[in-house]
């Protein structure tokens, strides 16, 4: 397993216990932030949540699910009507295409019911491993590690892995975290990423994991971009660029 233990801190295997306990204390009750009443609604909402906030998805789904109730309804819908209903979530043409194609496959291959296992779920159009694990964990109570942008970033910052490939991150977390906790652990990392360990400017000074995080004090994307811009704007760089231009 490729982990990234911090100097002076115990390896990931020893820190994962305190990390799990702390996250559980911070976020004891975790449920999907996407409003849904069944697996189909969660599947559609998850497709809509790509490049969109869960809160915005929740503003369009009540009308959407009142209009289309079954996989067959979505599979036979008028694509323009579907597009109109989901437009506020962005990329609505592609999302409408995926939702309809996904529901056609559910009707044709799974009798109109969302399948409850990973192998079948990932065969549906528009459904990758991440979406499949969300569905399994939240609609079928089957534990799954969901590696989205927050889970990936926090896993690396917390020194649990160095991998960038979500599938490899998922495997590392599956080894470190007890299976019955996979779904909740993913939700807790997502919440911590949304509330404290921001990508742009992590709030390490407010973070309850600071004493067991190897990256405490890390500069986020905002600082990196600032440094890059400063470098680009530096007078030496400008002079060098001008000299290069003149010598041509």
Binding footprint of ligand SF4 on the chain (CB under 6 A)? 157-158, 196-197, 202-204, 207, 209-210, 213, 215-216, 218
Euclidean distance between CA atoms 212 and 178, whole angstroms: 19
148 included as an active-site residue:
yes
Nearer to ligand SF4, 4 or 41 (CB): 4
Cβ-based nearer residue to ligand SF4, 56 or 219: 219
CA–CA distances in Å: residue 206 to residues 203, 210, 223, 227: 6, 8, 18, 24
Q: Tell me whether residue 144 or residue 202 sits nearer to ligand SF4 (CB atom).
A: 202
- Please identify which of the residues 35, 73, 120, 148 carries the catalytic annotation: 148
Smallest distance from ligand SF4 to CB 159, Å: 9
130 flagged as catalytic: yes
What residues contact residue 144 under an 8 Å CB cut-off, 6+ apart? 118, 132, 133, 134, 136, 137, 182, 183, 186
Residue from 95, 130, 184, 215 carrying the catalytic annotation: 130
Look up residue 185 and give its two tokens.
């652990």
> 235, exposed or middle or buried, with CB in 10 Å at 0-12, 13-18, 19+?
exposed
Q: How far apart are CA 38 and CA 247, in angstroms?
A: 67
**Minimum distance between the CB of residue 217 and ligand SF4, rounded to whole angstroms?**
7
What is the nearest approach in angstroms of ligand SF4 to the Cβ of residue 61? Answer: 31
Catalytic residues: 130, 148
């Amino acid at each position: 397993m490729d982990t990234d233990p911090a100097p002076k801190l115990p390896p990931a295997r020893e820190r994962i216990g305190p990390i799990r306990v702390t996250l559980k204390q911070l976020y004891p009750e975790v449920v999907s932030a996407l409003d849904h009443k069944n697996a189909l609604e969660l599947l559609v909402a998850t497709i809509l949540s790509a490049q969109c906030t869960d809160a915005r998805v929740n503003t369009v789904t009540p009308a959407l699910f009142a209009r289309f109730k079954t996989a067959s309804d979505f599979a036979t819908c008028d694509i323009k009507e579907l597009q109109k209903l989901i437009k506020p979530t962005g990329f609505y043409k592609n999302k409408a295409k995926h939702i309809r194609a996904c529901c056609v496959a559910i009707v044709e291959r799974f009798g109109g019911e969302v399948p409850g296992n990973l192998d079948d779920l990932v065969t549906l159009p528009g459904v990758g491993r991440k979406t499949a694990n969300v569905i399994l964990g939240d609609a079928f109570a089957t534990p799954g590690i969901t590696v989205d942008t927050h889970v990936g970033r926090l896993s690396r910052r917390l020194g649990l892995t160095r991998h960038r490939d979500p599938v490899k991150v998922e495997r590392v977390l599956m080894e470190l975290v007890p299976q019955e906790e996979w779904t909740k652990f993913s939700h807790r990392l997502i919440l911590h990423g949304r509330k404290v360990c921001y990508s742009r400017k992590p709030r390490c000074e407010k973070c309850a994991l600071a004493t067991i995080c190897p990256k405490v004090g890390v500069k986020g994307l905002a600082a990196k971009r600032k440094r890059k811009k400063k470098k680009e704007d530096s007078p030496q760089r400008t002079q060098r660029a001008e000299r290069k231009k003149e010598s041509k």
